[in-house]
Amino acid sequence: MKPEMLWPLALVGIVMGLALRIRYTVDDAYVRVRLFGATLRKIALSDIEFADTASPFWNEHWCNTLWTRGRIVRLRRKSGFVRNFIITPADRDAFLAELQAKLGR
């Protein structure tokens, strides 16, 4: 294999490695998507219409795994062009319970 063909593979490896480090947190005001503690994306709790485990076709993905089966959480927003926001926390049920407690539902 030619050396100039290795950089795309290295780039894919770096991107996948970073994606696997994404974490999700729920605080008093936001659901945050974080990478090494820095917030990449946040959704206001007041903008969340509901949360469930569906996976619709049209959505915004912030997945941290290659195998999403049994981990998908959809946050349906009240506003925005793309209202479905997909995340994949390690423990989907615990995340949903924490989120429902913060939403007061």
At 13-25, the pLDDT tens digits run 887 877 778 999 9
CATH of the domain at 44: 2.30.29
Write out the DSSP string of 23-83: EEEE-SSEEEEEETTEEEEEEEGGGEEEEES---SS-EEE---S--TTT-EEEEESSSSS-
What is the structure's pLDDT at 43? 95
At 64-103, the pLDDT tens digits run 887 878 899 999 999 989 999 999 999 999 999 999 999 8
Residue range(s) defining the domain that contains residue 50: 3-103
Q: Residue 41's beta-bridge partner residues? A: 33
What is the structure's pLDDT at 57? 87
Q: How many domains does the chain have?
A: 1
